[in-house]
Amino acid sequence: MAGQLIDTDPVEAQRYAAVARRHAARLPVVREAAAETAYAAEDFAAALQDFRTLRRMTGSDEYLPVIADCLRALGKPDEALATAREGSGGRLPVATRVELRIVEAGAREDLGQVAEAKRLLRKAWDAEHNSPAEVRARLAYAYAAVLEREGNTADSRAWFARAADADPEATDAADHLRVDRTDDIEVEFDAEGEE
């Protein structure tokens, strides 16, 4: 039930996962369901606890990006950066490595280090030129979002276009590229003020 509800009702999904967690907290699959549903429901403290426990249970670094992201959401960018550094020495799968870099850049941005955030993302973009399309799309999207928040509309649109070209299904980059044509329509009024 948690899996069926996570996209439509994450709070209810979290309730189901919590019940399973009470009965079988030592099973990694149950702990993962609890962590993912808590994350989807934006209960980042609970998600952080379960993802950290899951990492200890499995010994896997694949959870580092989401652990770091939970720390960011809880207003702890310095701890997020420390978590990102934990994954810098290992041989992470490409998707995990890129997600960790995206979260690291977000933590830098949280600290007001926008230039460093952009540098990290551009370096990752250049280094991951042979990565799967979805990974490239996520990187381009993250860079575009930083540019957009910075007010650099032209460059952000170019990077959103790169994201959409790399993998149209991986992000909502195409939505950022749509122009609202109603702003461009001029309505002529006569002297009476009627159309």
CA–centroid distance for 145 within its chain: 11
Q: Specify the pLDDT at position 179.
A: 53
Entry pTM: 0.83
Where does the pLDDT of residue 191 fall: very low under 50, low under 70, confident under 90, or very high at 90 and above? Answer: very low
Q: Does 187 have pLDDT greater than 70?
A: no
Q: What is the mean pLDDT of residues 81-87?
A: 92
Q: How many residues does the chain have?
A: 195
* Crossing angle of the two packed helices 94-110 and 114-127, in degrees rounded to 10: 170
Contact 95, 132 (CB under 8 A): yes
**By C-alpha distance, which of 73, 79, 121 is closest to 97?**
121
Model confidence at 87, pLDDT cuts 50, 70, 90, reads confident
d(CA 110, CA 93): 26
Tokens of 29: 């699959």
Share of the chain above pLDDT 70, in %: 90
Banded pLDDT at 101 (limits 50, 70, 90): very high
Please tell me which of 69-73, 153-157, 167-171 the model is most confident about, judged by mean pLDDT: 69-73
Residues 3-22, mean pLDDT to the nearest whole number = 83
Assign 123 a pLDDT band (cuts: 50, 70, 90): very high
49 vs 180, more confident:
49
Q: Is the pLDDT of residue 54 over 90?
A: yes
